[in-house]
Structures are given as C-alpha cells and as structure tokens.
Structure 1
C-alpha cells in the first residue's frame, strides 16, 4: 500500500464520522442531560418556587366545616384500622416538658433547614444528580397543592372534641406557622398530605443513597422517622397525613424517572463541563459514551 492510498483509506471514515457525528441532539434530549447547576439561578428558582407554593397553599379556601368533617372521618378510619393512637402519643410526650418544647422547635425549623442543607450538599458534591433530585422535591410539593384543595383537613389539635393538646399554644414556643400569632399567615386546614413527611423522606432517602459514611446514612433514615413522631406528638398531623406525603413523594420520583430515564441516585455524580457537553450534543463518539456511564 502506498502512502497516498493509506491517507485515502483513513480519510473516508473520518469524513463519514464527521458528517454523522455532527447531528445535534433534540432540545428535550439536551435538557435531560445532567449539567452543572448555576448558583444564582438555583437560589432564584428555590425562592420563587417556595413563594409560589406558599401563596397557592394559603390561597386555597379555608373550608373549616369540610376540614373538620374530614378530620372526624380520618379519625374514624384510623380507629377502624387500629392505628388511632395520636392522642395517646400527644399526651404522653406533652407530659415531658423539655421533650415537647424541643419537638415544637424541631417542627418549626428543621423542615426548612435540613431540606435546604441537602440541596446545598447535592449542588456542591453531586451536581450531576442535583437537577433530578430537585425535580423530585418540586413535583412532590406541587402535587401536594392538589391535595390541599381537594381534601381540606383540620389537624388533630383543631378537632372538635378531639381532646388533643396544641403544644405550641400550651408551651408558648416560637416559630410554628400552625399556631400562635403566626397561624393567620398559614392555611390551618392544609394538613393532608404532610409535606413535613414528604420533604424529610426525600432528605432521608437522598442521604442514605449518596452518603459515603455509614453513620450518616443511618442518620438519613432516622430523620424522617423522627419527623413522623414529631408531627404526631405535636398534634399537627394524623398518621394518614404521613401516608399522603409518601404518595406525593412517589409521584415526584416517578416524574424524575420519566424525564431523566433513571432515578436521581443512578445518574452520574459529576456534571459535564462546557467542552464535554458540546462533544456530547454533537455525538462525541466513544469518549462521550464512556462519560455517560461513568459514575
């Protein structure tokens, strides 16, 4: 083989590869690819999303009569299932002053602090999984709004003749949007589903799936468990409200699975840089394929 013949044989596949490889991917395909999130955009998105969620949640009509009737119905159902022990838990924990005060502050603060902390952790150390995990959280919260509208529900502490203790009112603790001076800023009859459970379970599963330190993974599982005890002990939710929160979270994971083709924790840990993204979008050959499968 002459030198010119060798160059000719090599040039043919390069030309073909270049022509085929430069076919750009569709916009939905590019949007589904993990990419490094932008800090300013994420801060703005989370702030606007939570503001919108709060606005819609509080705009749902406070159907007091229907909410109280629904609470009575939930209470009867739980009695039928043999799980109506919320009142016993509420009174038992309320008898231990330091414990119930701690739970009141837990209910008022950790719901936000831990969730934001997990988002920051994902952003910093798992950028390739961040967008999908955030979608789970947003979809979970969004579908909860439907529940607030279709099924207004009074929390146990507001039931007629329920004999529950409103622990924030009794112990004068600060911070709960559900009692005291702040109750007028929040819809009191949006107890189903419980987003304390939806968000805490999202945090717990994320930590358990992605943390590398065993005891941290255990803490991840304990967090939603402790939250379940807190929402019941403070008489803010029934057990079945927690089930509603779990169902909303299931919907959130389903949405992420449909959009990204995998659960967030199965996606690559690192987001590709601009150069790698460009290679991928224009069909970057074997190196691009290797990058897609690299954790």
Structure 2
C-alpha cells in the first residue's frame, strides 16, 4: 500500500476572531441599569414628596436640637467671630440692629419675616417646581436637602451663639423687646430650639436657593428680579434682628455650594439644565 497524504482543508480547525479596525466606532460599556434609573429625572409623586419633606424636616429639627448646646464654647466662638469682624473692619451688625430697632413697625415686620418666610417661600418654590418643572424638581430638591444635611455638621462642630445672646455685646433681642413671635430661639419658644446653632445660617442657604431657582427658571422679568432681592432682604433681616452675624451667611453659602456640587455629580449637569418635563410614567 502506498502512503496516503491527507491535506487538511483550510480553516477547518481555525477559530475566526473578529478584528478591531483602528478608528472604528466601539460602543462604550453600558452604565449599570439601576444607577442609570436612579439618575434619570422622573415625574415626582405628590404623596411621596409630602412624606419626604415632612420626614426630612422632622429629622433635621431633631438632629439640630439634639446637638449639645455647649453654651461656653458657643459664647467663646461668638466673641472670636465678633473680634474677627472688627479686625476686618466689617462689624456692622450692632449698628444695623440698633438703627432698625428704632423703627417699631419695621423691626416688628422683620421679626415676622424671620419667623415665617423662611418656610413659606421655600415650600412655595418647591410646589412651583413640582407643578411647573417636574423634570428639574428632584435635582433641585437634592440641592436643598444636601445643603441642609451638611449644615448639621456645622451646628455640631462649631456651636455659635447669635449676636443677641452675646454677653459682651450691646445687641437688642428684638423679639423679646417687642413681644413678637419672631424666632424659634427667643421668648417662649427658646426651649424648643438649640439657641447655639447659628453657624451656618440656613435662612441664607435656603433663601439663596430660592432666589437662584426663581431667577433661573421664572419667565417674567419682574419675578426673576424679586427672586434675586429675596436673599438680599433675608440678609438684612437676620442681621437687623440680631439672629446672625454676616459670617453666618457666608457659612450658609458654602453649604449651598456643596449642595449644588452634589447635584452636579449625581445628575451630570446642573439642575436647571435638565429638561423641564418628563414622561408621565414613573
């Protein structure tokens, strides 16, 4: 028998592998589905938002008031802050407090402003966002919640007495003098709130959040102007009523900047750049 030569067919046992051509479009790896869903704006649900806001504010109040009052440290910090403002040549709170206190109707109005608009305007802006800008609601709400959450660290780490409680100052506690309901930390309500949680000022943090949101999203020019004036008026009020130093307002702005950074990292864009509306299905 002669030798038999077997010639294998080309490609019989070869594995064909796709080649990648340089410069060809390659699809990026898909983002985790769960994370993608969480980051996608969706229509807010009313019952959930009411519950979330109520629970969040209750938790915020509970934690804020549970922080040890640390009276000695708070008064020492207030003295140091007051000296720092004098060193900067910007210790104007006492002059504003006395000047406004001399006009009874004005200071009484400011007392009620301090006690009410802080909540009324903030809730009003949330309702407006919910109804008119549902696609931006969750992201903008996240800014507010993150701002408030980081403020709790300030209350714990840096107890600070408001100017009206300083032992070495000559500030007027306008609520006590005029017998108005103007502060959760004065008069008959002082036992319901931590009086030494003045830094940072959430009156400023929340009011600037409201002002920026109104300015960015409102369509009427005069409404946008009112949005910008609101935090300015709030700054005057918190100083005139001796509830805050102006440096407390700086602390509030830093907390707000943190809130915007959190929303930017989570959604990839600033809240106001998101679509105004979203599909109805949640």
State the TM-score, normalizing by the size of structure 2: 0.88
Instruction: Note if 1:130 corresponds to 2:140.
Output: no
2:119 is matched with 112
Q: Distance in 2 between matches of 1:226 and 1:212?
A: 22
The structural deviation recorded for 1:214 is: 0.1
Q: Distance in 2 between matches of 1:50 and 1:257?
A: 23
2:21 is matched with none
The structural deviation recorded for 1:25 is: 5.6
The structural deviation recorded for 1:178 is: 1.4
Q: Structure 2 matches for 1:9-28, cutoff 5 A? A: 26-28=33-35
Instruction: Note if 1:232 corresponds to 2:239.
Output: yes
Q: Distance in 1 between matches of 2:185 and 2:203?
A: 13
Q: Structure 2 matches for 1:85-234, cutoff 5 A? A: 85-234=92-241
Secondary structure, counterpart of 1:236 in structure 2: coil
State the TM-score, normalizing by the size of structure 1: 0.85
1:287 is matched with none
The structural deviation recorded for 1:175 is: 4.2
Please say if residues 200 and 252 of structure 2, whose CA atoms lie closer than 8 Å, have aligned partners that are also in contact.
yes
Please say if residues 191 and 236 of structure 1, whose CA atoms lie closer than 8 Å, have aligned partners that are also in contact.
yes
Please say if residues 34 and 272 of structure 1, whose CA atoms lie closer than 8 Å, have aligned partners that are also in contact.
no
Quick one: which of 58, 66, 74 aligns to 1:67? 74
Please say if residues 113 and 182 of structure 2, whose CA atoms lie closer than 8 Å, have aligned partners that are also in contact.
no
Which runs of 5 or more residues in structure 1 are unaligned? 1-19, 278-295
1:271 is matched with 278
Q: Distance in 2 between matches of 1:161 and 1:80?
A: 17
1:8 is matched with none
Q: Distance in 2 between matches of 1:256 and 1:174?
A: 35
2:36 is matched with 29
The structural deviation recorded for 1:126 is: 0.2
Please say if residues 196 and 227 of structure 1, whose CA atoms lie closer than 8 Å, have aligned partners that are also in contact.
yes
Q: Which has the higher helix share?
A: 1
Instruction: Supply the RMSD in Å over aligned alpha carbons.
Output: 1.2
The structural deviation recorded for 1:176 is: 1.6
Secondary structure, counterpart of 2:170 in structure 1: coil
Secondary structure, counterpart of 1:188 in structure 2: coil
The structural deviation recorded for 1:273 is: 2.6
Please say if residues 93 and 233 of structure 1, whose CA atoms lie closer than 8 Å, have aligned partners that are also in contact.
yes
Please say if residues 89 and 233 of structure 1, whose CA atoms lie closer than 8 Å, have aligned partners that are also in contact.
yes
Please say if residues 140 and 198 of structure 1, whose CA atoms lie closer than 8 Å, have aligned partners that are also in contact.
yes
Count of residues in Structure 1 that have an aligned counterpart in Structure 2: 254
Q: Structure 2 matches for 1:256-295, cutoff 5 A? A: 256-274=263-281
Q: Output one character per residue of 1:144-171: Cα deviation in whole Å (capped at 9) or x when no partner.
A: 0000000000000000120000000000
Instruction: Note if 1:76 corresponds to 2:79.
Output: no
Q: Distance in 2 between matches of 1:225 and 1:88?
A: 18
Please say if residues 122 and 206 of structure 2, whose CA atoms lie closer than 8 Å, have aligned partners that are also in contact.
yes
Which runs of 5 or more residues in structure 2 are unaligned? 1-26
